[in-house]
Chain A
């Protein structure tokens, strides 16, 4: 731990107040999502704990011995508790799909950049075609084919996301491939796989980390959008997106809290991630440094 804080990159990261704020935000939100069952006054997934008479109560309402700090929704679920549980789903989907797309995209980008030629053409044209469609449209198509569910959402977001890694990693690989350390490895007789993964990969990882952080935010938004459109997770286990959607219908009937508070939670997560991502980009991008 001590060594970690002596690291230059880490020190540089902590020089930015915004980034530290973002990091704290992420840690607080993630921890409260993970420990939702200890923090939340109510388990919104447990039908026994719900009372339909408590539907649409304003923030601060007290019933069944519970104070609903942020009010309740149409099912009588406390908005605060539902946000905590909903963040779990949002963060889980965001992180898992980002890891999957980072792995797939990095490998494909590495292969395309290293071998070049036809392999490169096929992979990169595929990426170009995919990028010419809006991400949401592609996700919708996949969900339409495979149906709903948490696993399907993750697949859809992974498919949407790999392109960004592949393009960046391919670009960096093209640059690294020309460096003499690759020639040096070839002269020694190192095989292609080892050159790609042992030599080039560690040198192209920095941008992957930067894209990764920013893409987590994107993945969370995409999941929220899909859920908002009713294609996401089941209604019994609402994520932030489906919460906003359910409150949206009654937003102008006076029940504003049902969608505004989940919206704020979503915004805080995305903002925290982006603050950290921006800082990482500044530090890890050698072009911005002298």
Chain B
């Protein structure tokens, strides 16, 4: 019995691009074109151990959200394999879909759209219990809902209210209670605080930490904000254009970032640690389109250290120090 809860191997997710006016029609008068794909994730591998908070960081379009959504089963993977407790997810879903759905939950970025506006808090939190038949009667259901609400810092007396009667932070608490209702082991949190007000963010982060301790949760924490990642995670993977460019223990990555892209991220993030220091712009240009990613290393067009080799070969993730992997020819 290993300690590994979720393992992802060479995961790929491509989205087809619709091109012309007649594309996708049964009657297509135009000559067939080559199908194009957005390579949202293009060969991602990592392992999350029990009790970990594994952070995926990167800019928009790097594939971090797609990775999370593919793991929970919202997207069908194009290639690769996802293992849950050592077994391929496809097999698990075939044999016992309820078990996987119960154990893997997700918290979404926007609590304004992730809660059905026509459902009361009670219905929202009790629905997962009902779907998985976790309670035997109404009374037990009520007690469980009240207990969950208390645990996420909501007054149980509000259970008959609708989501629009709550503020953003409280809504995110409802979403967390809903995710916890099935007593899951693994939660994918997709930017759970970026839609919230600054003074509320700390409340939700602290709550997530408390709950992790209390229920022994394992998180996949998706974020773009490095300082949040530093605070909450013990493992970090930096993604760029559908691939992981650097991965390792959070402390190691923050104290000794190796990949030029990771370094750039650290330099460009504004922080109260850097009062009145001018923002550093070490790279110019923007992220290339994932439809037509550059050959070789995806970062080479923006990289100050790019060589001819980077333009031709794609660097693989190699371990440069214990628990620290980088995909760069410099190391």
* Chain A residues packing against B (C-beta within 8 Å): 121, 179-181, 183-191, 194, 199, 202-203
Contact = CB atoms under 8 A, between A and B. Distances in A.
Interface stretch (B47-55, B126-134, B148-156, B260-268): B126-134
Shortest 8 CB-CB contacts between residues of A and residues of B: A189-B101, A180-B114, A202-B118, A181-B116, A180-B108, A180-B113, A188-B128, A187-B106
13 contacts: A180-B114, A181-B116, A183-B106, A184-B106, A184-B108, A184-B115, A187-B101, A187-B106, A188-B127, A188-B131, A191-B131, A202-B118, A203-B116
| Interface size of B as a range | 20 to 34
Given A183-B69, A183-B114, A189-B101, 4 more contacts: A184-B115, A189-B131, A199-B119, A202-B116
B182 A186 contact: no
B249 interface: no
Contacts of A186: 73-74
A187 B104 CA distance: 8
A181 B114 contact: yes
B178 A184 contact: yes
B98 interface: yes
Contact of A181 (B26, B113, B128): B113
A179 B116 CA distance: 9
Contact of A189 (B98, B110, B116, B117): B98
Contacts of B175: 184
A175 B113 CA distance: 12
Contacts of B110: 180
A180 B195 CA distance: 14
Nearest to B111: A180
Interface of B: 26, 69, 72-74, 97-98, 101-102, 104-106, 108-110, 113-119, 127-128, 131-132, 175, 178, 182
Main secondary structure of the interface of A (DSSP, over half): helix
Contact of B115 (A181, A188, A190, A194): A181
B26 to A, nearest CB: 8
Q: Which of A183, A184, A191 has the most CB of B within 10 A?
A: A184
B234 to A, nearest CB: 24
B114 A184 contact: yes
A187 B105 contact: yes
Contacts of B119: 199
Contacts of A199: 116, 119
Contacts of B98: 189
Nearest to A183: B74
A183 B101 CA distance: 12
B319 to A, nearest CB: 33
Given A180-B108, A180-B110, A187 B116 contact: no
A121 to B, nearest CB: 8
